[in-house]
Amino acid sequence: MEQQLKELQTEALAKAEAAEDLKQLNDIRVAYLGKKGPITEVLKGMGKLSAEERPKMGALANEVRAAVASAIETKQTALEQQAIKKQLEKETIDVTLPGRPVKSGNQHPLTKVVEEIEDLFISMGYSIAEGPEVETDYYNFEALNLPKGHPARDMQDSFYITEDILLRTHTSPVQARTMEKYQGQGPVKIICPGKVYRRDNDDATHSHQFTQIEGLVVDENISMGDLKGTLEVFAKRLFGEDREIRLRPSFFPFTEPSVEVDVTCMCGGEGCRICKHTGWIEILGAGMVHPNVLEMAGFDSKKYTGFAFGMGPDRIAMLKYGIDDIRHFYTNDVRFLTQFAEHE
């Protein structure tokens, strides 16, 4: 029996040593140390032994079990370490490999110009106002001194949704909406950027959807001089300190008097294709808020005066970046858009 036990021990130790993975090792553990294993089997023959030999064999059996268990444990630790090592080797990162470049987006050129203009006016104490793109006839026209049937409505071909609801043709309705909110109490000092829509045929200079920025200042003693000074600061900051502006008389139903504002061309006044050889480029419409508009929005036109202006960032961006077709802004060809990235 002693012989048998020793052989079992040698056999188990050899097998444990040879085990290739944790599963094999566990099978060995179950086979040799389990209740139905060979050691238990050998010990069943103990009954035939003498009283002296029995405890000796019992002790030997325990030794064998302990030796096998300890060999299995040692091997298990070794196998586990090996597995970790393998895993680590598999997962090593080659830090010398060049990375894959991540493509990042960039701001749309129109957004850039709009934000630049927003920042400029915010620095002069203006706040940003917003209004709906689906607008009522009242705010888009009537509250701006353009009653139904007024011929100046023809200047803005409109997308009507119902008789009384349309896609706003300009950002001017936000003037009326904002003034109403102030309930006849000045000062009001806002700009309103946003999308506008007109029933135009798209070509290089027309788009049925485009952008406008509206400006409105209402307070006591606001004069045309304030308007001119504000627009001068605006033009110089946006286009360059060397630029000049000029005001030409014009007509808008919501302002009286009304002006169109030109800025000197980048050709320096020599005349080029962009300024059609005049040296001046028109950039916006403006004027003193018509008393009817003030009154309809709840402001006392004897106490308050104001100026307003409306500009097209599309046109300004085209001038600033030398873009020759307004449709580029809305067709979103990435080859066009990525030219305005500030990083590469």
Q: Which residues are annotated as a binding site for Mg(2+)?
A: 256
Q: Does 174 bind ligand DAH (CB under 6 A)?
A: no
Determine if 143 is a binding residue for ligand DAH (CB under 6 A): no
Residue set of the binding site:
256
Distance of alpha carbon 136 from alpha carbon 160, whole angstroms: 10
314 touches ligand DAH (CB under 6 A): no
Q: How far apart are CA 250 and CA 269, in angstroms?
A: 23
Instruction: Looking at the chain, list the stretches that DSSP marks H as alpha helix, in order from N- to C-terminal side.
Output: 2-18, 22-33, 38-43, 53-90, 109-122, 137-140, 173-182, 224-239, 291-296, 313-321, 328-331, 334-337
Q: According to the binding rule CB under 6 A, does residue 167 interact with ligand DAH?
A: no
Which residue among 194, 287, 306, 313 contacts ligand DAH (CB under 6 A)? 287
72, two tokens: 């299995």
In the bound complex, what is the minimum distance in angstroms from residue 115's beta carbon to ligand DAH?
Answer: 20
* Total number of residues shown for the chain: 344
Nearest to ligand DAH by Cβ — which residue?
310
Q: Which residues contact 237 (CB under 8 A, 6 or more apart)?
A: 120
Cα–Cα distance, 166 to 163 (Å, whole number) = 8
| Cα separation, 2 vs 113, whole angstroms | 96
Using rule CB under 6 A, residue 310 touches ligand DAH: yes
Which is closer to ligand DAH, CB of 197 or CB of 239? 197
At residue 263, φ and ψ (nearest 5 deg) are -120, 150
- Sole binder of ligand DAH in the list 309, 318, 323, 329 (CB under 6 A): 309
Residue 308 is a binding residue for ligand DAH (CB under 6 A): yes
Of 82, 73, 66, nearest in space to 20 by CA: 82
Using the minimum distance from each CB to ligand DAH, give the nearer residue, 230 or 255.
Answer: 255
Residues 199-228 that bind ligand DAH (CB under 6 A): 214
Residue 255 touching ligand DAH (CB under 6 A): yes
Q: How far is the CB of 96 from ligand DAH (least distance, A)?
A: 59
Q: How far apart are CA 328 and CA 344, in angstroms?
A: 21
Nearest to 209 by CA among 179, 170, 153: 170
Q: Beta 209-219 vs 305-311: how paired, if at all?
A: antiparallel
Using rule CB under 6 A, residue 172 touches ligand DAH: yes
Answer yes or no whether residue 121 interacts with ligand DAH by CB under 6 A. Answer: no
Quote the least distance from Cβ 268 to ligand DAH, whole Å: 27
Nearest approach, Cβ of 111 to ligand DAH (angstroms)?
20
Instruction: Give 28-73 as a DSSP string.
Output: HHHHHHSTTSHHHHHHGGGGGS-TTHHHHHHHHHHHHHHHHHHHHH
| # residues near ligand DAH by CB under 6 A | 11
CB of 145 to ligand DAH, least distance (A): 11
Q: Return the residue of 252, 280, 299, 304 that touches ligand DAH, per CB under 6 A.
A: 252
In whole angstroms, how close is the CB of 294 to ligand DAH at the nearest point?
A: 13
State the minimum distance, in angstroms, from the CB of residue 170 to ligand DAH: 3
Kindly tell me which of 9 and 140 has the beta carbon lying closer to ligand DAH. Answer: 140
The verdict on 305 binding ligand DAH (CB under 6 A) reads no
Residue among 19 and 166 whose Cβ is closer to ligand DAH: 166
Q: Does 170 bind ligand DAH (CB under 6 A)?
A: yes
Least CB distance from residue 214 to ligand DAH, whole Å?
5
Judged by phi (left if over 0) then psi (alpha if -120 to 50, else beta), residue 278 lies in alpha
3 three-class SS: helix
Positions that interact with ligand DAH (CB under 6 A): 170, 172, 214, 252, 255, 285-287, 308-310
